[in-house]
Amino acid sequence: MADTSATMEASYMQPPRGIENDSFGSSQLKRHFLAVSACFALSGFAALVYQTAWMRQFAIVFGTAHLAVATVLAAYMAGLALGAYLIGRLMHRIRRPLLTYAVLEAGIATCALAIPWVLAGIRWLQVVILGGQAAPPDSAGFMQTAFYTSVAFIALAAPTAFMGATLPLLARYAVQRDQQVGPRIGLLYGLNTAGAVAGVILAGYLLVPNFGLFGTVLTGVAANFLVFLIASGLSRGAEAAQSVSNRTVKSASDANRAWRWMLPLIAVSGANAFYLEVLWSRLLNHVFGGTLIAFTTMLATFLVGIAIGGSVGGRFAKTKQRAGYTFALAQVAIAIGSLTTYLLIDTIVPTSADLAQSILMAAIIMLPSTIFIGATFPLAVRNVVIDERDATVGTARVYAWNTVGAIFGALLAGFYLIPALGFSLSAKASGLVSLLLAFASLLFLCDKMRTQLVSLGIAIIAVALFYDAPRPENLLRAAVNYGGKEVNEIFYAVGRSATVMVLDVDGRFEMRSDGLPESTIYRIGSPPSKHSQYWLTALPAIARPEADDLLMIGLGGGVALEALPDTLATIDVIEIEPEVVAANDALAELRRRNPFEDERIRLVINDARSALSLTSKTYDIIVSQPSHPWTAGASHLYTREFLQLAKSHMNDNGVFLQWINAQYVNEELLKTLAATMADVFSNVRLYQPLPNVLLFLGANGTLDIETEIVQSKSLAEFAHNDYRQVGIASAEDIASALMLDNDRLRLFAAGAIINTDNRNMLATHSLPRGDGMGAVGLRDLLRSRDALLHRDGTAIGHLGDQLDYGYIATQLVQTRFEQRAFELARTFNGSSVQYLIDGIGYASFGQSAQAQQAFAEAVRLDATDAAATFSLIKPYLGQIGTAQSYTRLEAAAAALPASALAVVRGWQAGQRGDWEMLRSLDAELADIRATDLWYPIGAKLRVDWRLAFAQSSTDSGYGQQGLELLDGVLAFYWNFDLYVLRAACAFVADKPQAFLESAWWASELVASKVDKAVEGKYAFSQAEYATTASRLLGLSREIERSGGAGGLSSRALQVLGMLNDTVHRMQQLAATN
């Protein structure tokens, strides 16, 4: 035994076989080392290619809840640490390290090829162990957490352990002399990281978008096998194998006591590095928008700094003492870099959406610190390693401790510290940790550093007491240009997966997630409106009036939950970010309706895909309105596999609704989403209630909403008030939003790429800057297949004159579809309907004379057209029955239907102040259909007499009745007179909030007309100028009088400012005209 030991020790001291003998010169040795270094760079390339793909593949199974993502990341890094630890323990048994390295690379490739089957097994096991729950579960359950942790580690243990073993293994080959420890380790570390930079850039910018996840993995596999071939070939020519006894290795390690301090220090340093990475990523998401490109760019920038630092740091790691001192200096530099860049971050926010500017910002923020972070690794290795004999074990130990620290840093940062401390305190805490690490390094690793210790101590105290960086407001709001609007913060929180803000922007609440718009929420007292988010629940509920159970994916601002029909029994809402729920809670007393007051709603905090996978519950309606399709938390909710999962949780006659915004997609992506919906559901429609809002409605049963409403009158009988409050009261309201029926949607989507988990086009090709098609591009794209314009053979074509196209035109014009209304008129070429619609269009632009000519022509062509007749005589209602009237006017009025005649008589009674007469007409006025063009005037008359009674009797109940009547109209007809009338009713009903909001909406409507007038798209008449300005000033005076001793509230001042500004702009416009 002694002889064997002596032989092994003697062998250890001899030059490595094939390196310093005559047949293998130093120049050839250098070439071999360069080749090995290139291999190791290629290994880093493959590793980051895998990480980019695997994080997305695992998210498909585990979901994107922060717990699941963090679990996968921790398992990945734990495997790296395990590999480094094991290779350090087993190194004395390895005779040919280069060949072993080659085999490990082949093992990584083999494991990567097996990952899809491993994930399929995990998915099956997940359902077996955790599935079948009665309702979608939260993500924080113990069993779910334990399952994710264990299977993620098992799935990734082999390939990541192989990765973690490679650097210590190559240290055995590369380090032949003591002087090479720092430089060679630093060089290998830097080259490996440089390869990682190339891997993440290639994967994020090219491979994932164009070849999908599996194609990306295959690229990594090819790189690994290439390394295997090169390294195995090199091992035959120059294998730096060394026979080192276990005793010798142990002796070399134990002789160095520095590791007792350095290893904990490098662990904390690793934790702080990943803490900073999470912090920077969270901050820069507000600039980059959470895209794959954002992830790629931020990670690549981080790694560039690490690569530079690793390579340069090794040059300063010549001796243990110097390495320890330089390690301390590096920590000081990290602190200075991170604290300074956070102070300056708000001054370098890009002024445009240019990617180059964003990349430059990321470099300015990250590189000053990451270069020094990268330098710490070779410095730590040099400090731990005594000489070349200890290089492998020392490298393994440092790598393992550093990686374990990184695990804790990433988990603590994402789960606890950053959400608890916020951004500013997190930056301060990280800087203090770096300074404390520097202090500890000088104290325990260096001799005679009293002056430096005192200086550092003072610096630590100074930072702790005086460093007070403000929150980077410009950065947090970088995603939106508010254009000088008044902006006030209502809610702010740094959540686990997103930063959530609620801002009061010009009178409305806007919820933002990492700066991206999520929802607009109206204030308490606001009038009803045709809010696009109301359609998310209203449209499928109208399609399935018998529905009992609804699932909403994505809470957002909760607006879609404000108008749920009473017929629904249960409403489950899945939201991934708890702070979104908290933001809604913060608005509970400020918003028009608080959805959480509805006891049917059950909130689930989880990733929707994961939650659905674990429940057996089925639904009649599933509404998917997650965040934008490029964001990490939502991208996997737009794929075929998710739609199939949702479909499996739908009852037999269930419906599925998918939201998308046209600003963020181009023609290719819209066709892809349409094709994906059509691939999963047998019947699909596309609705467009507002210019940029697209709603795909899918079902395996029938979808014939308009026909069912016309034939059964179901909408008038079912949840009547619920839908009137959101602007839906008839088949015409649905038909006006129908863009593509099932047949035309399939023609539109023919040949498009299906959006899949493997190749998620919407995740990689969406347009987060909002420079997609938009309303105009969408109109041009869909015009040739528009179901409303080309009715023959479509879902509404057979309804013919059962639909009121005059009313449809008013809704189109009101919702800014003027061009579509014009084209609708052309489909009735030469008929009274064409001229009726043209007249409605002219009137919307303030062109009264042209409107009257069009209405007159419509009546000439069809004297029985009541809508055209009423529109023609509407400006003269006050003259009918008076001396100013004339025969043709009287004749036209006499030809009107009874409900329209009731409006004429009511108008005359109102002019006379005969409120009792007007009151006697109330029942007739109440019978007017919402689609009749005289409906808003009938509603106004019903309110007029109530308002008069309220003012004369001081009975506020009449004012409340008037409010309720108007709230049943304003979602259909956005009318200035009705908003002013609502303000009056609110005043007498003692509803100050409703008064202020009515005044605000009245002013905003006028302001939009002024904007159109400035653009030459609206013409104010002199009478309209005078009456409108007078009423706005009247509202202003009433607000000023309401102040009392306590003064005006902030909202009252805001509304007052809006009113006065609008009047001022009108006066300027009148002066220029």
**For residue 812, is it within any domain?**
no
**For residue 723, is it within any domain?**
yes
Are 340 and 420 in a shared domain?
yes
How do residues 842-866 score in pLDDT, each as one tens digit? 999 989 999 999 999 999 999 999 9
Rg for the chain (alpha carbons), in Å?
A: 35
Count the helices and strands in the chain (H runs, E runs).
43, 12
CATH code: domain of residue 603 = 3.40.50.150
Residue with the larger pLDDT of the pair 449 and 420: 420
Q: Looking at residue 29, what is its pLDDT?
A: 66
Are 304 and 347 in a shared domain?
yes
Mean pLDDT of 192-219: 95
Mean pLDDT of 902-913: 93
Q: Looking at residue 422, what is its pLDDT?
A: 92
Q: Looking at residue 182, what is its pLDDT?
A: 65
Q: Looking at residue 977, what is its pLDDT?
A: 93
Whether the predicted pLDDT of 256 surpasses 70: no
Which of 449, 477, 505 is the C-terminal boundary of a domain?
477
Whether the predicted pLDDT of 327 surpasses 90: yes
Are 686 and 766 in a shared domain?
yes
Q: Six-digit token pair at 865?
A: 């057209």
Are 103 and 154 in a shared domain?
yes
Q: How far apart are CA 919 and CA 913, in angstroms?
A: 11
Mean pLDDT of 344-366: 86
How do residues 575-617 score in pLDDT, each as one tens digit? 999 999 999 999 999 999 999 999 999 999 999 999 999 999 9
Q: Looking at residue 257, what is its pLDDT?
A: 55
CATH code: domain of residue 119 = 1.20.1250.20
Are 413 and 316 in a shared domain?
yes
Predicted confidence band of residue 30 (pLDDT cuts 50, 70, 90)? confident
What's 523's DSSP letter? Answer: B
**For residue 39, is it within any domain?**
yes
How do residues 545-578 score in pLDDT, each as one tens digit? 999 999 999 999 999 999 888 889 999 999 999 9
Poorest-pLDDT segment among 250-254, 875-879, 992-996: 250-254
Q: How far apart are CA 996 and CA 1052, in angstroms?
A: 7
338 is in which domain, residue-wise?
255-477
**For residue 459, is it within any domain?**
yes
Whether the predicted pLDDT of 243 surpasses 80: no
Are 47 and 103 in a shared domain?
yes
In one letter, which amino acid is 759?
R
Which of 801, 824, 853 is the C-terminal boundary of a domain?
801
Phi and psi at residue 606, in whole multiples of 5°? Answer: -170, 165
How do residues 1032-1047 score in pLDDT, each as one tens digit? 999 999 999 887 667 7
Q: Looking at residue 449, what is its pLDDT?
A: 76
**For residue 873, is it within any domain?**
no
Are 544 and 610 in a shared domain?
yes
Q: What is the pTM of this model?
A: 0.90
How do residues 416-438 score in pLDDT, each as one tens digit? 899 999 999 999 999 999 999 99
CATH code: domain of residue 339 = 1.20.1250
Beta bridge partners of 570: 549
Q: Looking at residue 490, what is its pLDDT?
A: 93
Q: Looking at residue 1, what is its pLDDT?
A: 37
**For residue 887, is it within any domain?**
no
Are 536 and 677 in a shared domain?
yes
Are 588 and 636 in a shared domain?
yes
Predicted confidence band of residue 31 (pLDDT cuts 50, 70, 90)? confident
Predicted confidence band of residue 247 (pLDDT cuts 50, 70, 90)? very low
Q: Looking at residue 294, what is its pLDDT?
A: 84
**For residue 442, is it within any domain?**
yes
Query: Mean pLDDT: which of 50-54, 92-96, 463-467 is highest?
Result: 50-54
Whether the predicted pLDDT of 832 surpasses 50: yes
Q: How many domains are contained in the chain?
A: 4
How do residues 338-347 score in pLDDT, each as one tens digit? 999 999 998 9
Predicted confidence band of residue 998 (pLDDT cuts 50, 70, 90)? very high
Mean pLDDT of 387-402: 83
Whether the predicted pLDDT of 7 surpasses 70: no
Give percent above pLDDT 70 in the chain.
91
Q: Looking at residue 249, what is its pLDDT?
A: 44
Are 226 and 264 in a shared domain?
no
The helix (run of H) or strand (run of E) holding residue 133 is none
**For residue 351, is it within any domain?**
yes
Which of 766, 801, 836 is the C-terminal boundary of a domain?
801
Are 463 and 588 in a shared domain?
no
Are 427 and 565 in a shared domain?
no
Whether the predicted pLDDT of 239 surpasses 90: no
Mean pLDDT of 292-316: 89
The 3-state DSSP class for residue 736 equals helix
Sequence-distant contacts of 445-451: CB under 8 A, at least 24 apart: 445/258, 445/261, 445/262, 445/265, 445/324, 445/325, 445/327, 445/328, 445/383, 446/321, 446/324, 446/325, 446/328, 447/321, 449/325
Poorest-pLDDT segment among 303-317, 478-492, 925-939, 1035-1049: 478-492
Q: What is the DSSP annotation of 232-268?
A: HHHHHH--------HHHHHHHHHT--THHHHHHHHHH
